[in-house]
């Protein structure tokens, strides 16, 4: 375009140089903005990847922790079941088969003379988390028996240990709201007399 422009003697107008300079500066500013805009998705992608990595590490740690607690619970239930078998082998141990509906054995209780007791489940159906099994000891004489709580067992117990400080005639298993109750108004889920 300059080659075809009319030949003029004299300097170019000052406004022309200002306009050329602003165009060049504008192109540089536009180039910097474009470079920043191109980097922005990379920064966002890096931040998302970092957040996902942190979340994966946290979830993995939680899984390991839950797995450890589950292993501990299984080991504890196995230890209680083994202690119940040792107690059952003692000559002075008393036992009660807890029968549901008077027919099906769902748990067994072993009671030692010092009041230490063990409950091991046989065929106990798991409950929803809003409910729990609760074990009751029937104490007192035959005319006026009294139920005292021997333990809140949770919705899916395998084995439990407890202590009773009174002469026990029988045991009753009830289904109660989660956390258990001080006094049961529920009917017996299973029961059995000590032999």
Residue 137 lies in a domain: yes
pLDDT of 160 reads: 92
Written as one string, the DSSP assignment of 28-80 is: HHHHHHHHHHHHHHHHHHHHHHHHHHHHHHHHHHHHHHHHHHHHHHHHHHHHH
Residue 155: count of CB within 10 angstroms of its CB: 16
Return d(Cα 59, Cα 75) in angstroms, integer.
24
**How sure is the predictor about 103, in pLDDT bands with cuts at 50, 70 and 90?**
confident
| Same domain for 176 and 136 | yes
* pLDDT tens per residue, range 104-142: 899 999 999 999 999 999 888 999 999 999 999 999 876
- Please tell me the number of Cα atoms within 13 Å of 136 on its side-chain side: 25
Domain of residue 169, residue span: 93-193
pLDDT on residue 83: 87
154 and 114 part of one domain: yes
Is the whole model's pTM more than 0.75, yes or no? no
Residues 151 and 100 in one domain: yes
Give the end of a domain, one of 89, 123, 151: 89
Query: Domains in the chain: how many in total?
Result: 2
Residues 125, 106 share a domain: yes
Nearest Cα to Cα of residue 155 among 187, 126, 122: 126
Q: Which helix (H) or strand (E) holds 146?
A: strand 146-154
Q: Same domain for 34 and 18?
A: yes
**Dist. CA 109–CA 81, nearest whole Å:** 11
- The reply to whether 6 falls in a domain is no
* Domain closes at, from 89, 108, 140: 89
């Amino acid at each position: 375009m300059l080659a075809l422009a009319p030949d003029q003697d004299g300097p170019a107008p000052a406004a022309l140089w200002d306009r050329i300079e602003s165009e060049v500066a504008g192109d540089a500013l536009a180039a910097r903005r474009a470079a920043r805009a191109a980097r922005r998705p990379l920064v966002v992608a890096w931040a998302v990847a970092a957040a996902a990595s942190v979340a994966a590490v946290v979830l993995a740690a939680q899984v390991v922790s839950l797995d450890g607690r589950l292993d501990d619970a299984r080991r504890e239930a196995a230890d209680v079941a083994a202690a119940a078998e040792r107690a059952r082998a003692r000559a002075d141990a008393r036992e009660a088969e807890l029968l549901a509906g008077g027919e099906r054995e769902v748990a067994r209780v072993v009671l030692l003379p010092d009041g230490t007791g063990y409950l091991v489940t046989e065929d106990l159906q798991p409950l929803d988390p809003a409910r729990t099994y609760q074990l009751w000891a029937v104490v007192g004489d035959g005319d006026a028996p009294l139920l005292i709580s021997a333990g809140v067992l949770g919705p899916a117990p395998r084995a439990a240990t407890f202590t009773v400080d009174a002469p026990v005639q029988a045991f009753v298993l009830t289904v109660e709201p989660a956390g258990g109750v001080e006094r049961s108004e529920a009917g017996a889920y299973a029961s059995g007399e000590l032999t």
